[in-house]
Copies of this chain bind each other. A is one copy, B any other.
Amino acid sequence: MTESLLVVGSVAFDSIETRAGKRDEILGGAATFISLAASQLCKVRLVAVVGERDFPDEHVRLLASRGVDLAGLERVPGRTFRWAGAYADDFSSRRTLDTQLGVFASFSPKIPAGYATSKYVMLGNINPDLQLAVLDAVRGDHFVATDTMNLWINTAREALDAVMRRTDLLTINDEEAFLLTGERQIARAAAEVRRMGPKAVIIKRGEHGAFLFHERGVFFAPAFPLDDVVDPTGAGDSFAGGLMGHLASENRTDFGALKRGMLCGAAIASATCEAFGVERTAQLTRAGIDERVATLTALTSLDN
């Protein structure tokens, strides 16, 4: 039975430069990618904030057309969060050129009554105080996945630790895992994170795939090998969205479900990288996801 996924995070305008080109103020933000990625797999409930006047109806229509419940998309006076960045030609690094928090600076997530019993919760990368506020508003049995970043690890550690104690699955990249734990090898870092609360830890390595560390064992999901990367923005969030969408759609959170969820996430993340912004992510069909999952499965299959 398919369950609903509550998604909290940023909805933003991204201005992006890569070797493939340049885009100005296109739809982005962690919650956008997570929601669109999960939308072909389960029902998605979005909690985010945008500017009252500068957020185009076409973006609202796009999200709604993918079945995303927008009752939690708050519109307040001010400007929508804007981010600008430029990627190195080999995509190994990116520079932030500009950040304008706008209405996101005073974001205080409001959980609509209908969302409070969501069985799956994805806390996108926002201030851990806000992540805690969301957890306080959710009732009943639920499975929580959390993302975070260097900024919060460095500046809001106490709140982040509190979030982690209430987190079932932490999804972070390798550098964040090293910063969080002081370890330098991912297996050690994952073991240390698991002592902080989360029963399961996924350490993302971008184009090098992702590791799941779980009481049942370790699993590695390869990244889909792409002929061309156009824009990796949102790939990590697409991965998390696809993963959580799979868990919610199956209403299972065991080791096997997490593994298959990671392949769904890797499949959608690869599509995200093939075009700027959400262009490809928002076009993916269930069949398209399944096809990429099959390719990923074959990639590590020992069958001749």
- Closest B-chain residue to A229, C-beta based? B185
Min CB distance, A250 to chain B, in Å? 12
Partner of A254, one of B90, B298, B304: B304
Return chain B residues, CB-CB under 8 Å to A228. 185, 188
Instruction: Say yes or no: is A179 at the interface (Cβ < 8 Å to chain B).
Output: no
Against B, the Cβ 8 Å flags (1 = close, 0 = not) of A132-160 are 00000000000000000000000000000
Partner of A211, one of B211, B225, B301: B225
The 5 A-B residue pairs whose C-beta atoms are closest, nearest first, are A256-B304, A300-B300, A208-B208, A220-B222, A220-B299
Number of copies of this protein chain within its complex: 2
How many positions in chain A have a CB within 8 Å of any CB in the partner chain?
Answer: 37
Against B, the Cβ 8 Å flags (1 = close, 0 = not) of A18-39 are 0000000000000000000000
Instruction: Say yes or no: is A218 at the interface (Cβ < 8 Å to chain B).
Output: yes
Return chain B residues, CB-CB under 8 Å to A94. none
Partner of A188, one of B205, B208, B227: B227
Against B, the Cβ 8 Å flags (1 = close, 0 = not) of A177-210 are 0000000111110000000000000000100110
Q: Known interface pairs A208-B205, A256-B302. Does A184 touch B222 (Cβ–Cβ under 8 Å)?
A: no
Could you tell me which residues of chain A, from 275 to 304, have a CB within 8 Å of some CB in chain B? Answer: 297-304
Task: Report the Cα distance A209→B299, complex, angstroms.
Answer: 12
Q: Is B256's CB under 8 angstroms from A220's CB?
A: no
Task: Report the Cα distance A289→B205, complex, angstroms.
Answer: 26
Known A-B contacts: A259-B302, A260-B302. Give 6 more (CB < 8 A).
A186-B225, A187-B225, A209-B209, A217-B298, A218-B225, A221-B300
Task: Report the Cα distance A217→B134, complex, angstroms.
Answer: 45
Q: Is A187's CB under 8 angstroms from B226's CB?
A: yes
Against B, the Cβ 8 Å flags (1 = close, 0 = not) of A247-262 are 0000000111001100
Residues on A lying within 8 angstroms of B by beta carbon are 89-90, 184-188, 205, 208-209, 211, 216-222, 225-229, 254-256, 259-260, 263, 297-304
Min CB distance, A117 to chain B, in Å? 28
22 A-B pairs whose Cβ atoms sit less than 8 Å apart in the complex: A89-B184, A90-B184, A185-B228, A185-B229, A186-B225, A187-B225, A188-B228, A205-B208, A208-B208, A209-B209, A209-B222, A211-B225, A218-B298, A219-B299, A219-B301, A220-B225, A220-B299, A222-B222, A256-B303, A256-B304, A259-B302, A259-B304
Task: Report the Cα distance A298→B256, complex, angstroms.
Answer: 12
Return chain B residues, CB-CB under 8 Å to A256. 302-304
Return chain B residues, CB-CB under 8 Å to A186. 225
Q: Known interface pairs A205-B208, A208-B205. Does A300 touch B220 (Cβ–Cβ under 8 Å)?
A: yes
